[in-house]
Amino acid sequence: MIAGEFSQAAPISQTIFFRIDRRLQMADPALTDQWKETVRENIRNGAELNVAFLLMNVLAATIACYGLFANSPAVVIGAMIVAMLLGPIAGVALSLVDADTRLLLQSLFTLLVGTIGVMLTAFIIGFLHRGIPITNEIMARTAPNLMDLMVALAGGAAGAYASVSPRLSVALVGVAIATALVPPLCSACILFAHGEIDLGLNALLLTFTNMVAIQFACSAVFWVTGFRRIASFSGLSLLTFLKRNVVSIVILLGLGFMLTNSLHETVTRQLFETSTRFTLKQDIDTSVGSHLADVRFETIPGKATPGTTIVRALVRGPQPPTAAQVAAMEAKLPSPPGKTAIELRIRFVETSVINRDGPLYKDVKFGIHE
């Protein structure tokens, strides 16, 4: 069959992606059939369950847990050098493109065992160190949103293309992707060990989101680059590809909707907190000798009402504000998200400022401006 006959007989989507496949091979001549078989073999090997796979993931979980406890991003990222969860995810992706049921079941089983190994390791470490407080590195993985989904999709695509191209190192990309898998898994189990079930489930949701997004992105890259187990001129159609990935697509759509709402809530909350800090700072820092040291937020749910958002402000200065002044500052604050009521509570710490002539601002009342 000549190229002209192929373009007329084949579906439009099939023709388009056949041309993409050919252009990718022209841009990277190393993407030959022989090399594709080598890549397939490498992915199959990476999806095997063996002692090395289990050991490396347990070690990665151990390092990641202590990196999370130490609140050290460098240690958390460094722990991923030994993580191996990308292998079975790539195996699932390739099996869906190749319609290889055996590889699919093997990869899913390996991924499940590896995930359980990481979770058990993290839970044991978290249980043994329940006295260590929850750090920012752990909390950072308890609020998944749409941006996390987009990062996982891009990371999965990068990892898949690195694995099919002999010009790129899949090891470095695998390390980057692993940071989206093992740390949230470890964070979830540490939180479970501390009794923080809701936060742990959020971290677990982030891990699941990353796994599904990475798998789908890998499948898409494998398909576009010609890993279809069918002769080039009768390549896998777009409709067939979508059917084989329908579970991933449905999950991604559901996660996308849910995480979009989460992102909107997060942005709304951050805007409210930023505006509140700015408003309080304007009133407090301009008062002679006074200083806004910290602002914290707490939402108390109500039974029949949306609840109350409590703004706790730490103020240092020579004289405390009066109740009327607190009420006036509260009236200037923006409305909190969720239609909750707002209440300003100021914790005042008396502070003396002394220079060579003696105490300053000793008799200055709060609210006096220079």
52-94 confidence digits (pLDDT tens): 999 989 998 999 999 999 988 878 877 666 778 888 998 988 8
Q: What is the mean pLDDT of residues 298-319?
A: 84
Q: How far apart are CA 48 and CA 347, in angstroms?
A: 58
Give the pLDDT of residue 175.
53
- Residue 249 counted as domain residue: no
Please indicate, yes or no, whether residues 238 and 282 belong to a single structural domain of this protein: no
- Residue 125 counted as domain residue: yes
The number of domains in the chain is: 2
Statement: residue 209 has pLDDT above 60 = yes
Please indicate, yes or no, whether residues 223 and 338 belong to a single structural domain of this protein: no
Type and span of the H or E element at 314: strand 308-317
Residue 60: closest CA among 155, 156, 183, 169: 183
Please indicate, yes or no, whether residues 20 and 168 belong to a single structural domain of this protein: yes
Statement: residue 10 has pLDDT above 70 = no
Give the pLDDT of residue 7.
40
- Residue 261 counted as domain residue: no
Residue with tokens 């576009």: 224
Contact at 8 Å (CB) between 280 and 313? yes
Give the pLDDT of residue 245.
74
Please indicate, yes or no, whether residues 57 and 139 belong to a single structural domain of this protein: yes
Q: How far apart are CA 131 and CA 127, in angstroms?
A: 9
Range of the domain at 275: 271-360
Give the pLDDT of residue 4.
41
Mean predicted lDDT score pLDDT of the chain? 80
Please indicate, yes or no, whether residues 51 and 100 belong to a single structural domain of this protein: yes
105-154 confidence digits (pLDDT tens): 999 999 999 999 999 999 999 999 998 999 989 998 888 888 888 888 88
Task: List 353's β-bridge partners, or say none.
Answer: 360
- Residue 255 counted as domain residue: no
- Residue 63 counted as domain residue: yes
pLDDT over 90 for what percent of the chain?
30
- Residue 28 counted as domain residue: yes
Angle in degrees, CA 281, 319, 348, rounded to 5: 60
Write down the number of H helices and E strands in the chain.
Answer: 15, 5
Give the pLDDT of residue 51.
92
Q: How far apart are CA 262 and CA 280, in angstroms?
A: 27
Q: Could you say which of 229, 244, 259 is where a domain stops? A: 244
Please indicate, yes or no, whether residues 216 and 297 belong to a single structural domain of this protein: no
155-189 confidence digits (pLDDT tens): 888 878 877 776 665 555 555 565 578 899 999 99
State pTM to two decimals: 0.67
Give the pLDDT of residue 172.
54
Residue with tokens 């700072």: 281
Statement: residue 208 has pLDDT above 70 = yes
Give the pLDDT of residue 353.
83
- Residue 256 counted as domain residue: no
Where b means 16+ CB within 10 Å and e means fewer, 124-141 reads ebbeeeeebebbebbbbb
Contact at 8 Å (CB) between 76 and 67? yes
Please indicate, yes or no, whether residues 109 and 220 belong to a single structural domain of this protein: yes
Give the pLDDT of residue 275.
93
Please indicate, yes or no, whether residues 73 and 142 belong to a single structural domain of this protein: yes
- Residue 266 counted as domain residue: no
Contact at 8 Å (CB) between 328 and 248? no
Please indicate, yes or no, whether residues 342 and 216 belong to a single structural domain of this protein: no
> Residue 293 sits in a domain of what CATH number?
3.30.300
Please indicate, yes or no, whether residues 142 and 180 belong to a single structural domain of this protein: yes
Q: How far apart are CA 177 and CA 331, in angstroms?
A: 47
Please indicate, yes or no, whether residues 317 and 181 belong to a single structural domain of this protein: no
Please indicate, yes or no, whether residues 205 and 320 belong to a single structural domain of this protein: no
Compute CA distances 249 → 27, 243, 254, 255, 292, whole Å. Answer: 29, 9, 9, 10, 48
Residue with tokens 């151990």: 62
